[in-house]
Amino acid sequence: MFEQLDFSQFHSENTDERDQFCRELISELSKSGWVRLVNHGVPPESIDRAFEMSREFFDLPLDQKLKSPHPPTAHPHRGFSPVGLENISTVSNYRSSAIQPLLRDMKESYDIGSELDPLYSNIWPPPGVHDGFRNTMNSFFTFCYDAELMILDAISIGLGLPIHSLRELHGAQTNELRLTHYPEVDRADFANATRIAAHTDFGTITLLFQDNVGGLGKRYYLPNMDIELTFKEMEQPPGSGVFVPADNAGPHECIVNVGDCLQMWTGLHSARHRVHLAKENQGNMVPERFSIAYFAKPDRAALLRPLLDSLDKPAQKLLTANEFQHMRIEGTYA
Ligand SMILES: O=C(O)CCC(=O)C(=O)O
Ligand SMILES: [Fe+2]
């Protein structure tokens, strides 16, 4: 089991305790590129509601879901993508020497941005299709943004930077929320497909909530089920090509992982992860799974230059976060 940190310690009135927590956070992120957090500030009811709404959306008939379609190109990331539209193995090779086979992703997803994003508008289900989705997701997004800023402050303190160093690069809310449904599939389908292929996230940090679903449509956490589950897996240690299950304590816990931009700023390791068939169990059908990922991304104009003196100066021209996002995302859509 990997370390679980309690983010309420960050709010301690005793600044020594707070700073100690921030150093622990950095120590965990330095080891593996990710950490499990509780009391992160996103209220449990809001997480439950978002999962409920997500489930109800993906339960709709395909023609209803396609009334708010993702554009056929990789950006902007907005709206519904049916199974087969996005295949992440096309970008698996980034900063990895391992040869990645081309794999189909067996997932469907819904991408949402901030309502305040000046560049891209959201694509919402039209009136009459899943009313309530929009409000629920906007409120969840706001909670995640507030949590993001606190976590960025904690990372800044832990690294010995001024408290708002990272927050200041995230004022424009260019963040994205992604609901993913991994439908029930036949085990044999994993021969040339996966859930989501190995990759690093492109932004600063990702807050990931996961909900493994058992029978009867109920939600509960089953660490040792007798049927096959797909797990989120993290590369451990970083760079090893070995993936271990990132099991967690249920949907209210959040996995925070370092993305490519934070790596460029701070040298913390951007965590490679994937969702694939769990190795331990044997069964014919692989049950469905739900996750919600909130991708904290830098302001588009932010320069990706090292923030710590201890880091080497990059040899190439510095990129803005926007240039980098475009470079990374190209090619992910079929
Ligand atoms: O479903 C998950 O646990 C991970 C999803 C993910 O890694 C992504 O969308 O970038
Ligand atoms: Fe990811």
Q: Between the CA of residue 221 and those of 213, 321, 326, what are the distances in Å?
A: 7, 37, 36
Range of lowest pLDDT (143-157, 195-209, 319-333)? 319-333
Range of lowest pLDDT (116-130, 152-166, 208-222)? 208-222
**Global confidence as pTM:** 0.90
Ligand 1: residue whose CA is nearest its atom 5: 293
**Mutation choice for ligand 1 from 107, 275, 332, CB with most ligand atoms inside 8 A:** 275
Q: What is the pLDDT of residues 253-301, one digit of tens each?
A: 999 999 999 999 999 999 888 887 766 555 677 778 899 999 999 999 9
Question: Of ligand 1's atoms, which has the minimum distance to the CA of residue 195?
Answer: 1
Question: Of ligand 1's atoms, which has the minimum distance to the CA of residue 178?
Answer: 9
Complex ipTM above 0.95? yes
Indicate the pLDDT class of residue 83, thresholds 50, 70 and 90. Answer: confident
Q: What is the pLDDT of residues 84-99, one digit of tens each?
A: 777 766 666 666 655 5
Question: Of ligand 1's atoms, which has the minimum distance to the CA of residue 201?
Answer: 10
Could you name the CATH architecture of 4-87+102-330? Sandwich (2.60)
What pLDDT score was predicted for residue 182? 87
What pLDDT score was predicted for residue 217? 29
| HEC letters along the chain | CCCEEEHHHHHCCCHHHHHHHHHHHHHHHHHHCEEEEECCCCCHHHHHHHHHHHHHHHHCCHHHHCCCECCCCCCCCCEEECCCCECHHHHCCCCCCCCCCCCEECCEEEEEECCCCCCCCCCCCCCCCCCCHHHHHHHHHHHHHHHHHHHHHHHHHHCCCCCCCCHHHCCCCCCEEEEEEECCEEHHHHHCEECEEEECCCCCEEEEEEEEECHHHCECCCCCCCCCCEEEEEECCCCCCCEEECCCCCCCCEEEEECHHHHHHHCCCCCCEEEEECCCCCCCEECCEEEEEEEECCCCCCECCCCCCCCCCCCCCCCEHHHHHHHHHCCCEC
CA of 232 to the centre of ligand 2 (A): 9
Ligand 1 neighbours (beta carbon < 6 A): 178, 180, 196, 201, 208, 210, 232, 273, 275, 291, 293
CA of 274 to the centre of ligand 1 (A): 7
Question: Of ligand 1's atoms, which has the minimum distance to the CA of residue 291?
Answer: 1
Mean pLDDT, residues 35-53 taken together: 96
